[in-house]
Structure formats: C-alpha cells, structure tokens
Chains A and B, each alone.
Chain A
Amino acid sequence: MEHKRIAKLLAVIWSIVAVLPLFFGSTNFIMHILIMCLIWSVVASCWDLIMGFAGIFSFGQVAFFVIGAYASAIITAKFGIPPIFAVFLAGVIAAGIGILVGLPCLKLKGAYIALVTFAVHMILEPVLKGGIGRAIGTGGSRGILTIQPMNIFGYTFTSSEPVPYFYLMLFVAVICSGIILAVIKSHWGTAFLALKDAEEFASCLGVSAFKYKLMVFALTSFLTGVIGGFYAHYVGMLSTRMLGIDLFVTLMVILVIGGVGKFPGAIIGAFITIAINEMLSPLGSFRPITLGAMVVILVLLLPDGIVGMFEKIFLKKKKVRSLN
C-alpha cells in the first residue's frame, strides 16, 4: 500500500476509535475490552512489521511482550522508578533480548528462525517460574500480584476508571503506529523489503543485512516491551499464563484477519478479533476450537485479510471506472 493511503487509513481508524468512549464510556467491561484491543493492536502491528513486512519469521512477539510486562513491574517494585519511566526501561530490556535473539537468526532462514524465536517463548515460562525468575522478583509460579498503577504527573490511572487509561493507550498506540509508518516510509523500510525479496542482491548493493535485521528485531521488541509494561501497570498482576497458547493464537488470528504485511490491517484485525473473541465467550471451552476453525476458513477465503479484500474491491472499482 502507498504510504499516503496507510496514513489516511490510520487517521480514519484512530478517529473512530477515539470517539468510542462516547458510546461505551460508562460500561467498564466494554472499555476494558477496548483497552485490550489497543494493546494487542500494537503487539500485532509489531509482529506484522517483522514478519509481514521484513519477512523474518519471528514467533517471539508474545515473549517480548511478557518480558516487557515483567520487567516494568519488577523495575517499579525493586527500584522505585515511576511506572512511566519503567515502561521505557522495560522496552530497552526487551530490545536488548530481541537483539540477542536476532543475532543467531541472522545466519538462519525462514522456518528455522520461527523455531529459534519460538524457543525463546518456550523457555521463558520455566525461567520466570524457576529459581532465576524468583531471584529477580517474578514471584515464581504465583506470579506478581500487586503492580503499581500507572501514574503521570501525580495523576493515577486505575482500572476501575478505564476511560483515562483508554486515552493513554490510544495515545501510545497512535505513537507506535506513527513510528511504524515512519519506518516503513524511510530507507529502513526499503532495506527491509529489499532484504526480504532478494537478500544476496540487496547485500551486494550495499544493504547491510546484519544492521537492518537487527534493527527490526530491536525496534519491534522495544515497542512490544513498552506496551507490555503498560499492560502490566493496567491489569495490576502478572503470571506466566499469558505464555499459554491462547494469546498466541489470538494474535495470529489478528494478523490473519488484518492481513499479513498489510499494515495497518493488524490494528483493524485486533479490534475485530478481540470483539469476536468476547462474543464467543458463552461457548466456553468450545471457543478456542471455533476460533481455530475461523482461522482456517479466513486463510482460505481472505488470504490477504480485510485490508487485502478492500484493496481488491478498490482496484476492481478503479478498473471498472477506467473501462467506462
């Protein structure tokens, strides 16, 4: 998609989202879901940037999110650093780990990168629960039960009053999507695409695969870590349950619905998926199966997601118009 179109679409999406509290502001339950939509929209957009756009099959996004969440919670608790600074430190920590994970991935291709990055996801749970985790303050298998709420300039955001936190998250999500758009537009974006399409040729034209691949690892894990921190200070408690298959699958559905490599499709995907997920909750234990079946059907019907579908319709209209 053209950069201008992405910017326009972002403006439309965020304006619609911004007025939602006018309708749902008094229903805490719905506001909570909307906050979650904003949080997952950032995680999914980052995943889309590294996987859909840069073509690196990183499956570590949930792990970076959890790392950011734990890091921010621990930093505020242990060092008395205010949450608003802690989330950035959490992002830096996630980015550092992201670079460490990215290094071995430089030598690997495709599915092997998926394996390495998913291994990080797999070992994170035992690490957080085990001796190392307890030593740094993860609370072992009990998790962290009290996390300081977000506080900016003396104003405390609480989950019992979700509207202010909603706008804070909206602000963060807008900034993150702006950063992603800026990256896609810049020569970084060109380098990512060139390396994805033909790595040998790109590097023989002077593109450093080392630099740009590590950059995309660092950036996506930084943003994911930061939003993980915001999540922690919002929900107020953490456990390794997030590392279960549920969240991972939900994120995948978000990407599939939004369209892989179709930013800002992931944002639309997040709102649709989380909403559907909530509507399916009466199904109880059948919910994951239903969601799974939806993924299969969607991949078959809408290989490029919602945004891809709109693009096709738009192109057809254009063709019809030019034929007339």
Chain B
Amino acid sequence: MLKMTNVTKKFGELTAVNNLSFEVEQGQVFGIAGPNGAGKSTLYNLITGLYPFEGSVTFNNGEIRGLPPHQIAKLGISRTFQIPQTFPSLSVEKSIGVGSHFGSRDGFEHDYVEKILRFVNLIDKRDSSTGQLNLLDKKMLMIGAALATKPRVLMLDEPMAGSNAKEIMKLMNLVQRINREMGITIIIIEHFMKVLTELTEKLLIIETGTEVCCGNPVDVTSDPRVIECYLGGNND
C-alpha cells in the first residue's frame, strides 16, 4: 500500500535517511523504532511531503514524491507530530474541523467531527482553546484532527512519549480501535518495545538512517543486531 524504494535524505553532510526500502501493507500496524536521531521523524517528514528527498514513495501504486503536503493528506495519508502541534487560535472542535474541511475527500461533515470528538474523548472540551489542553489531550486532538481527514494510513510519531502507564494503556487501546474498527492502516514510531511487540504486526528498526532489520516483532526484538544497536546506543 505504502512503499518506499531507496529513500535517502541528506541534510548537508548528514545522511538522516539512508537508502531505506520497505512496504506497509493495507490494514497493518507497522512499527518503527531506533535510537534517538535514527531518522524516524525525518522519514515521516519525507512521506508527508514536508522535505524533498531522493528515491521513491508510492501510495496505492501512485508516486507521491514531489506532491505538496496538503495533496498527500487528501490522498489519505495523515499523521501526528512528536512534539504536539495544535492551533491555539482555534477551539478543539474547530481544530478537528480543519481536518474534515480541508483534508477529507467528502468535505466538511458536522456529524463526523462530532463522532471524532467523542472517539478521542474531547467532547466535553469542544469549546476550549487548544492552548489550554494538557499533553494527553493535545495528543488526542492531533489524532482526532488527523482522523477527521478520513485517512487510509495514520502515522503516529511517538504517541506514548511522556505518558504514564495508565495513559499508555488508553492510547494503545485507541490505536487498536482505529486500526480494527475504522480499518485504518497504522504506522507507529515508538521507543517502548513492549508497546511495539504488543501492537504491531511488523517492525522496522533503523539506526543512523539505515535499516538494521525488519520483520515479525518477536523475531526482531530478539535479533542480536537490534539488541546491540539498542544497548550500544542510547538506551531509553
């Protein structure tokens, strides 16, 4: 469904993503992990059209490299950001409305926004300014706005970071519901190996922009190269 071929991104001297190739299948929960600075977030920025790069990314067999971010969003690729981005000038409801109005192929649908507000548990805060939300609600809002675009793929960038055990349970449950109930393919970047082994069907480990290994999460986490890359690098 979403296929990278020889994707490379250089920032001057630094190669942030180095000749990566992999494919995410329809309906999958696909995990990406690797030490800090491995190039995970950069990879998202490439897929969503924020940075130019070398190589090819196809979505349902159509090349999307070179398309502007808003067109990629309209094709059905949606994402959240590692550092929560919100719209302090807009209310919670309006923020989710942005996704529905601008990103959905069906255009703005009031009922759908309503449904999403309930789904991400923000219905009581619909009129709040997004600046006033706590970290978890900000993340929920980002997920809600992304879902409002009616995506085919949702890419989450470290959604569990900074959350306590209870919140992690909640978020994991939410991710599973998005995947199973809504039928949305999920790509998730995460540091918590436990989360990844429980959630994902396929796991890609990268280090300094290069693939270390890719496959079934149980096999991947017991792979000596992965253990070495995690113990040798930052272990968080």
Which of B67-75, B199-207, B215-223 sits within the interface?
B67-75
Q: Which residues of A contact B87 (CB under 8 A)?
A: 193-194, 197-198, 201-202
Q: Are B90 and A204 in contact (CB under 8 A)?
A: no
- Quick check: B73 and A206 within 8 Å, CB to CB? yes
Give complex CA distance A207, B149 in Å: 11
By secondary structure, the A interface counts as helix
B89 in the interface, Cβ–Cβ < 8 Å? yes
- Let me know if B101 is at the binding interface, CB within 8 A: yes
Identify the closest chain B residue to A211 (Cβ): B70
> In the complex, are the beta carbons of B85 and A198 less than 8 A apart?
yes
Question: Are A202 and B98 closer than 8 Å at their CB atoms?
Answer: yes
How many A-B pairs with Cβ below 8 Å?
Answer: 86
B18: Cβ under 8 A from any A Cβ: no
Q: Taking the complex as formed, is A210 at the interface, i.e. its CB lies under 8 A from any CB of chain B?
A: yes
Among A187, A205, A209, A210, contact of B103 (Cβ-Cβ < 8 Å): A205
A206 and B90 within 8 A (CB): no
Q: Are A193 and B102 in contact (CB under 8 A)?
A: no
Within 8 A of A (CB), among B127-178: 142, 145-146, 148-149
State whether the Cβ of A203 lies closer than 8 Å to any Cβ in chain B: yes
Is the CB of A190 closer than 8 A to any CB of chain B? yes
Give, as a whole number of angstroms, the nearest-CB distance from B224 to chain A: 37
Q: How far is the CA of A98 from the CA of B70 in the complex (A)?
A: 23
Whether A161 sits at the interface, judged by CB under 8 Å, is no
Residues of B within 8 A of A204 (CB): 48, 50, 69-70, 72-73, 78-79, 146
Taking a contact as CB atoms closer than 8 A, the residue among B78, B90, B108, B146 that contacts A194 in the complex is B90
| B97 at interface, CB cutoff 8 A | yes
Query: Could you tell me which B residues sit within 8 Å of A by CB distance?
Result: 48-50, 68-70, 72-74, 78-79, 81, 85-90, 94-95, 97-99, 101-104, 108, 142, 145-146, 148-149
